[in-house]
């Protein structure tokens, strides 16, 4: 056990030494594409894809540690569900039928980033906290009401949102880098007009350019 721990400490010290020996930019600005696979976790709604993009700013406090501020926006996607018989919910009654609507999504989060600059690449891990909003549930509940349902219309929500993941940056020059891969687990806590359930566990992929200032 002591030998294994000693080896791990040596490995960490080796990479940390190399990382701190490098120069670093004070601010990194990311601009790029983002794909979100949203998982409503409701039997009446299937997972759906959002496409969009946005920007993020890393305020670097050294080559290894940064604080990130991120904003992403996703274009509208379809929310559709079909009921073969009336559904009685705590919010009211949903009559049989197919209900469709459009909905977009925005996320805004902040949190720490740990980087490991090695030669021309920089792997990183992050955990971000903040909020998001979508009008998908609100528009879907309006569609149900327009079809004769008696449920209460769900307002646009701004629930707690969290992202945990990481990625890889390829350094192109002193002032530019390319991010081919950033993958995150995304937790959102939307209530819905059918069951009132929360905690949607979704997948997010991002890629783009980084400007080092």
Range from 32-46, 76-90, 118-132, 177-191 carrying the lowest mean pLDDT: 76-90
Residue 43 has a pLDDT of: 67
pTM of structure: 0.82
Cα–Cα dist 34/70, whole Å:
12
Residue 87: alpha-carbon gap to chain centroid = 32
Which residue would you say has higher pLDDT here, 33 or 17? Answer: 33
Residue 93 has a pLDDT of: 85
**Is residue 20 scored above 50 in pLDDT?**
no
Percent of the chain at pLDDT above 70? 86
Mean pLDDT of the chain: 85
Residue 197 has a pLDDT of: 66
Residue 18 has a pLDDT of: 46
Predicted confidence (pLDDT) per residue in 139-185, tens digit? 888 888 888 888 777 777 889 999 999 999 999 998 999 999 999 99
All domains of the chain in start order, with CATH: 25-212 (2.40.160.20)
**Is residue 57 scored above 90 in pLDDT?**
yes
Neighbours of 23 (CB within 10 A): 7
């Amino acid at each position: 056990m002591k030998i294994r721990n000693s080896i791990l400490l040596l490995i960490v010290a080796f990479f940390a030494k190399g990382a701190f020996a490098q120069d670093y930019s004070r601010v990194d600005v990311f601009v790029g594409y983002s794909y979100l696979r949203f998982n409503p976790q409701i039997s009446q709604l299937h997972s759906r894809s959002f496409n969009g993009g946005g920007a993020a700013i890393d305020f670097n406090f050294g080559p290894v540690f940064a604080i990130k501020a991120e904003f992403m926006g996703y274009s509208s996607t379809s929310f559709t569900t079909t009921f073969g018989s009336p559904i009685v919910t705590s919010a009211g009654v949903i009559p049989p039928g197919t209900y469709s609507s459009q909905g977009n999504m925005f996320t805004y989060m902040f949190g720490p980033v740990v980087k490991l600059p090695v030669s021309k690449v920089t792997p990183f891990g992050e955990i971000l906290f903040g909020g998001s909003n979508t009008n998908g549930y609100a528009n879907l509940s309006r569609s149900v009401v327009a079809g004769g349902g008696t449920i209460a219309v769900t307002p646009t929500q701004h629930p707690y949102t969290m992202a945990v993941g990481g990625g890889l940056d390829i350094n192109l020059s002193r002032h530019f880098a390319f991010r081919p891969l950033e993958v995150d687990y995304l937790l959102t806590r939307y209530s819905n007009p059918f069951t009132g359930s929360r905690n949607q566990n979704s997948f997010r992929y991002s890629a783009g350019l980084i400007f080092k200032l």
